[in-house]
Amino acid sequence: MKLRRRKEPKRLMPIRDLKDPGSGVFTRRALLLMAAQTAALGVLGRRLYDLQIRDGDHFAKLADNNRISKRLLAPPRGLIVDRYGVAIAANKTNWRALLLPEETTDVQGTIDRFSTLVPLDERDRARVAREMRHKRKFVPVMLRDFLSWDDMARIELNSPGLPGVLIDVGTTRFYPYGSLLAHTVGYVAPPNEQDVAKSALLALPGMRMGRAGVEQSQDDLLRGESGSVQMEVNAVGRVMAELDRVEGTPGDQISLSLDVGLQRAVLGRIGDQVASAVVMDCRNGEVVAMVSNPSFDPSLFDSGVSRTQWAEWTSNERTPLINKAVAGVYPPGSTFKPAVAMAALSSGAISATDRFFCPGHFDMGGARFHCWAKYGHGSLDLHQALKFSCDVYFYEVAHRIGMEKIAESAHAFGLGTELGIELPHQREGLIPTPEWRRRHGHHWNGGDTVVSGIGQGFVQVTPLQLATYTSRIATGRAVEPHLVRAVNGSVGAKAEPTNWPALDMDPKFLDALRGGMFAVVNEPHGTAPKARLDIPGVQMAGKTGSAQVRRVSRALRESGHFNSASLPWEYRPHALFICFAPFDAPRYAVSVVIEHGNAGADAAAPLARDIMTDALTRDPVNHRIPPGQTVADAE
Amino acid sequence: MVLPVKPTSGLANRSGAAARGVLAGLDPRKSGGKFRKRLLRAEPSFRILSKLWSVSWLYVLLICVLAGVGYVSLYSAGGGSARPFAGPQAMRFGFGLVLMITVAMMPPRFLVRIAVPLYIVAIGLLVAVLRMGHVGKGAERWIMLGGMQVQPSEYAKVALVLMLATWFHRISYARMGNPLWLIPPAFMVLLPVGLVLKEPNLGTGVIIGGVGAAMFFAAGMRLWQIALLILPTPVLLKIAYAHLHDYQKARITTFMHPESDPLGAGYNIIQSKIALGSGGMWGQGYMRGTQGQLNFLPEKQTDFIFTMIAEEWGYVGGIAVIGLLLLLILGGMIMAIRSRNRFGRLLALGISVNFFLYCLVNLSMVMGAIPVGGVPLPLISYGGSAMLDVMLGFGLLMSVWVHRNSRFGEERDEQE
């Protein structure tokens, strides 16, 4: 073989072998194939040039879009403080134990060992198992939050036996006053899918959304602006490196007009009655206290309310979740009478000195409407009619002027209208009119006007509307109730009384109403002598109301055994009282509604008096004043 | 004792050839005589050495360079670690190198004899994989054999090339003019193609068909026969499309409009193009290709290894790899041309065309020029079956080169 190798000249192509007839064809065709192969790979090389060089910049940009992920950073939620700077909604650091499933080989074993140090209940375990099924292995799962120092010390000490467990700090919303301010301040909860679809910021872990009260209405201010961090991620979204970071702006601090101390005093005075009370600065409409009892613990919503707790709340006839001050509607009863009187005076149908005779009942079209005083009040003018709260006088007046005039006046006082307060879910109440009745397919009877004259029938108002109404009577200004006093320390224009326009009512008529209300409390035989203030030189004007929730049958009334206090609780009349003080320089207006509290004079009036006394004697110096503000500023 | 010197013709005189020693590989007419016989007996070790000497070590070096490129890339694909890809692949390559040299020592006479059994085993495995294969990416492709994952379609390509080379060698160039002699080999091609398409593995099916066609062409099919075949092709393609699996049709449609389904079937193509494009002229640097290292690039260690190379080494690196592959292909073709026997020529050509089609399908796929199909880049992609198949093929190619001057089988041509 070696010999032959030497003989054979070195050349690329063999000489055409005549003995092998296919070889020539083969060589030609093989060369053709080689050319085709070279050309094909050449075309690919050309395509590679197009992709890498010609369109390289375009693809490089796409590659960066792939790998750089911009993530938003959750900003801290703004604080909510009361008028003296006392924090009523704050952020609490929350130490929590997280489990990184990919760093432990035995997830269940780690969880079991962890639970010997910090107990986990069935609900925690179920939640952990659920989250682990839905999350990727490198996304931490929360085992327990709100760890104490002791818990953390135990975890740290045993960390070698707890692979994948790490301690992390987050924030949760914290309400130091709990149920005291739950209805007004509201609460936060994790956003749902529709919210997240509206704002990418809400998709961030730890973001909460206001779900009720000021937390909800001021959510945009409280939320703040997100920061961002640019990260390099891989195809499954795992963070490989942080490239850039911009911190977010915290949410605004909201100062409410509420006074936590007064709020607490009002709630303490209400005790366990199902009631609502509103204390308003009648000069500018600031709500200083707003109580709705019973209440609930708002912090439960942050982590999720249990089903049993929710069922208990929603089935409770005392409706703890509803803010009765703005969403509870009640017939105003006799507290409605000043509005009717104003309608009558403004329309010119009567004057304050016109007298009517009350025989104890009012007959119209074969129907008889009773006065609360069985044997009547005799002859009385407006002043006396308000003082004694005579029903027949107002039946007569209402019948004369008609429902439209009454509704007009009531609306001007804020009754049956939507008020501008910064609270969601408020109800409008209702001042019925013939037109409204027709819209719902019924006739308006003369009797409907008559019963509306004493705030019964279809008339429905909220305690906040009553307080607004009282403030407007007291000051003659169209003040609107509001809760937000300042944002980030700058007090809004609403705080200045002179910014509120005067009501389109004759001051003489307003004086007549105030005089009647003064008589209710301070003159002999007024309906609310128990509401008299025990402060020297300060007097209060008010109006009682007892609103029937059930029609009293004639048989029962005539039997003489009618005593509403002996009725079952849910059939007893609501007790109402509205008042303002000091009479000569009105400062506060108070409205109190006690559900099924029976007589306004006995149940509501003393309560309102105590609240008013507290409000008037409360010394702002006793409150913590935020730095940089004087007592006068805080006031 | 002088053995009777008869013209041997393939199978008929197989036993006679065996008696003279399979490894002899010498021109049988020149054997005979006591001295010569003694020499023959003493020869094997000498022959092996001389055969080893005649192996084209330059070509082997080229193979090693490409395998080295593969090792380096798999090291990067493993995130800068020999595990899990580069290390095992290097071991397989070492094993493949031994296999290649072993096969290179086999004379054509022996290869002809094992062609039929190998082909039958290959068909058997293809049937087995259909019946009990392991499903990978919606297709049955793998089979467990002695604790190893084997991809029979890879091995079937080599068996088919060997079988066709044997057949065309037997029927000689003259008989190619008669279409009847072309019918059996046509079935030899269509049988594995059909089985592979049924798996379904479109990419490999196309490659097997292409290799068969190239061998028919090189074996000397008459031009009128070719024309007769090509004319009805459009109709056949239409019928074939109707029989494709839904996912294969999806590949074709997403290839036409990859943006229509960016996270689904079109994802691979889009990500591959992005990775190639972000490589630019000089690349992002070794182990610094963002698309590959951050796993946006799917299957970067197998089908899309070229994309990763071109992302990290740029256009320069990509062209270098294509150039090396082209050198291997053309080298194989030259070996085919220089063989002095019909069997060797056809075998070497079949192997080279197979290697070429392998590269062509893979490269076109990663550049988004044809629909994606599970075809790795030979020598570079991670995968045991493909590596052994390729090295087996190079072994056969080298055997053709070592035995290029053997006058094996030319007697019958003289007869006719």
State the pLDDT at residue A226: 78
Which strands sit side by side in the sheet containing A286-293, from one edge to the other? A286-293, A275-281, A588-594, A574-581, A541-547
A226 and A345 share one domain: no
Counted domains in chain A: 2
A441 and A561 share one domain: yes
Q: Which range, of A137-141, A477-481, A508-512, B358-362, averages the lowest pLDDT?
A: A137-141
State the pLDDT at residue B22: 42
Which residues of B are less than 8 Å from A9 in CB distance?
none
Identify the closest residue of chain A to B415 by CA–CA distance: A19
Distance CA B191, CA B170 (A): 20
Neighbours of B104 (CB within 10 A): 23
pLDDT band at B258 (very low <50, low <70, confident <90, very high): low
pLDDT, mean of residues B59-69 = 95
The SS3 of residue B323 is helix
Diameter of chain A measured on Cα atoms:
152
A238 and A270 share one domain: no
Cross-chain residue pair A27–B333, CB shorter than 8 Å: no
State the pLDDT at residue B14: 43
pLDDT, mean of residues A440-448 = 87
Cβ neighbours for B179, distance < 8 A, ≥ 6 positions apart: B225
Identify the closest residue of chain A to B222 by CA–CA distance: A25
Domain boundaries, chain B: 66-415
Select from A5, A7, A26, A240 the residue whose CB has the most chain B CBs within 10 Å, as the one to mutate to test that interface.
Answer: A26
Interface of A with B in 64-123 (CB under 8 A): 66-67
| Secondary structure (DSSP) of B110-141 | HHHHHHHHHHHHHHHHHHHHHHHPEEETTEEE
Q: Does residue A627 carry a pLDDT above 60? A: no
Q: What's the gap in Å between the CA of B283 and the closest CA on chain A?
A: 9
Q: What's the gap in Å between the CA of A62 and the closest CA on chain B?
A: 6
pLDDT band at B415 (very low <50, low <70, confident <90, very high): very low
The verdict on residue A10 lying in a domain is no
Q: Which of A252, A182, A171, A248 is nearest to A219 (CA)?
A: A252
Q: Which tokens in the block code for residue B318?
A: 């990509």
The verdict on residue A102 lying in a domain is yes
Q: What's the gap in Å between the CA of A623 and the closest CA on chain B?
A: 59
Query: HSE of B168 in the Cβ direction (CA atoms, 13 Å)?
Result: 36
Residues linked to residue A172 through DSSP beta bridges, in sequence order: A92
Q: Which of B172, B318, B334 sits opposite A52 (nearest CB)?
A: B318
Contact (Cβ atoms closer than 8 angstroms) between residue A69 and residue A230:
yes
Q: Does residue A634 carry a pLDDT above 50? A: no
CATH number of the domain within which A581 lies: 3.40.710.10
Q: Does B281 touch chain A (CB under 8 A)?
A: yes
Q: Which of A17, A31, A62 sits opposite B340 (nearest CB)?
A: A17
Distance CA A219, CA A80 (A): 11
The verdict on residue A475 lying in a domain is yes
pLDDT, mean of residues B38-49 = 58
Q: Does B258 touch chain A (CB under 8 A)?
A: no
State the pLDDT at residue B176: 82
Q: Which of B247, B197, B229, B286 is nearest to B371 (CA)?
A: B247
Cross-chain residue pair B367–A51, CB shorter than 8 Å: yes
The verdict on residue A632 lying in a domain is no
State the pLDDT at residue A495: 86
Q: Does residue A346 carry a pLDDT above 70? A: yes
Which residues of B are less than 8 Å from A55 in CB distance?
277
In B137-199 the beta strands, taken as DSSP E runs, fall at 139-145, 148-150
Q: Does A232 touch chain B (CB under 8 A)?
A: yes
A246 and A272 share one domain: no
**Phi, psi at residue A174, to the nearest 5°?**
-130, 130
| Secondary structure (DSSP) of A159-192 | GGGSTTEEEEEEEEEE-TTGGGSHHHH--EE---
Q: Which range, of A175-179, B207-211, B233-237, averages the lowest pLDDT?
A: B233-237
**What b/e readout covers B48-70, taking b as 16+ CB neighbours within 10 angstroms?**
eeebeebbbeebbebbeebbebb
Q: Does residue A4 carry a pLDDT above 70? A: no
A272 and A208 share one domain: no
A242 and A286 share one domain: no
State the pLDDT at residue B8: 42
pLDDT, mean of residues A493-502 = 88
A154 and A184 share one domain: yes
Cβ neighbours for A287, distance < 8 A, ≥ 6 positions apart: A184, A257, A258, A278, A279, A280, A281, A421, A464, A467, A481, A482, A483
Domain with A84, as residue range(s), is 71-256
Q: Which tokens in the block code for residue B213?
A: 């066609």
Domain boundary among the residues A208, A239, A256 is at A256
Cross-chain residue pair A33–B172, CB shorter than 8 Å: no
pLDDT band at A275 (very low <50, low <70, confident <90, very high): very high
Q: What's the gap in Å between the CA of B237 and the closest CA on chain A?
A: 22
A629-632 long-range Cβ contacts below 8 angstroms, 24+ apart: A629/A85
Q: What's the gap in Å between the CA of B87 and the closest CA on chain A?
A: 24
Distance CA A413, CA A429 (A): 13
Cross-chain residue pair A56–B279, CB shorter than 8 Å: yes
CATH number of the domain within which A167 lies: 3.90.1310.10
A371 and A464 share one domain: yes
pLDDT per position as a tens digit, B183-200:
899 999 999 998 888 777
Contact (Cβ atoms closer than 8 angstroms) between residue A263 and residue A180:
yes
Q: Does A36 touch chain B (CB under 8 A)?
A: no
Distance CA B202, CA B204 (A): 6
Amino acid of residue B330: L
Q: Does residue A77 carry a pLDDT above 70? A: yes
pLDDT per position as a tens digit, B395-409:
999 999 999 888 776
pLDDT per position as a tens digit, A157-205:
888 888 888 887 777 888 888 888 999 998 888 777 777 777 767 766 6
Q: Strands A87-99 and A68-73, how do they pair?
A: unpaired
State the pLDDT at residue B161: 95
Distance CA B339, CA A520 (A): 127
Distance CA B165, CA A358 (A): 128
Amino acid of residue A385: A
Q: Which tokens in the block code for residue A539?
A: 């007097």
Cross-chain residue pair B174–A55, CB shorter than 8 Å: no
Distance CA B405, CA A401 (A): 129
Which residues of B are less than 8 Å from A51 in CB distance?
273, 276-277, 367-368
Cross-chain residue pair A14–B337, CB shorter than 8 Å: yes
Which residues of B are less than 8 Å from A58 in CB distance?
277
A221 and A138 share one domain: yes
Select from A7, A31, A46, A51 the residue whose CB has the most chain B CBs within 10 Å, as the one to mutate to test that interface.
Answer: A51
Cross-chain residue pair A33–B214, CB shorter than 8 Å: yes
A245 and A342 share one domain: no
Q: Which tokens in the block code for residue B224?
A: 């009128």
The verdict on residue A49 lying in a domain is no
A473 and A366 share one domain: yes
Please tell me which residue, A55 or B5, carries the higher pLDDT value. A55
Identify the closest residue of chain B to A43 by CA–CA distance: B364
Contact (Cβ atoms closer than 8 angstroms) between residue A318 and residue A340:
no
Contact (Cβ atoms closer than 8 angstroms) between residue B114 and residue B410:
no
Cross-chain residue pair A37–B356, CB shorter than 8 Å: yes
Domain boundary among the residues A226, A256, A286 is at A256
pLDDT per position as a tens digit, B93-152:
999 999 999 999 999 889 999 999 999 999 998 888 888 766 655 444 667 666 566 788
A240 and A267 share one domain: no
H-helix or E-strand spanning residue A577:
strand A574-581
Q: What angle do CA A176, A177, A178 make, to 5 degrees?
A: 95
Q: Which tokens in the block code for residue A289?
A: 């206290």
pLDDT, mean of residues B17-35 = 47
Compute the Cα dihedral for A394, A400, A402, A407 and give only its sign.
negative
Q: Does A16 touch chain B (CB under 8 A)?
A: no
Identify the closest residue of chain B to A18 by CA–CA distance: B414
Cross-chain residue pair A59–B276, CB shorter than 8 Å: yes
pLDDT, mean of residues A269-295 = 92
H-helix or E-strand spanning residue A3:
helix A2-7
Q: Which of A2, A44, A60 sits opposite B322 (nearest CB)?
A: A44
Q: Does A55 touch chain B (CB under 8 A)?
A: yes
Contact (Cβ atoms closer than 8 angstroms) between residue B289 and residue B311:
yes
The verdict on residue A334 lying in a domain is yes
Residues linked to residue A244 through DSSP beta bridges, in sequence order: A230
Q: Which tokens in the block code for residue A490?
A: 């700058």
Q: Does B164 touch chain A (CB under 8 A)?
A: no
Residues linked to residue A81 through DSSP beta bridges, in sequence order: A87, A255
Cross-chain residue pair B413–A62, CB shorter than 8 Å: no
Q: Does A35 touch chain B (CB under 8 A)?
A: no
pLDDT per position as a tens digit, A539-556:
999 999 988 877 665 555
Distance CA B276, CA A55 (A): 10
CA dist list (Å): A521 to A30, A525, A590, A610: 120, 9, 14, 14
| Chain-centroid distance, C-alpha A53 | 59
Cross-chain residue pair A20–B342, CB shorter than 8 Å: yes
Please tell me which residue, B132 or B410, carries the higher pLDDT value. B132
Cross-chain residue pair B218–A236, CB shorter than 8 Å: no
Q: Which of B30, B416, B170 is nearest to A19 (CA)?
A: B416
Q: Does residue A36 carry a pLDDT above 90? A: yes
| Chain-centroid distance, C-alpha A532 | 35
Cross-chain residue pair A53–B219, CB shorter than 8 Å: no
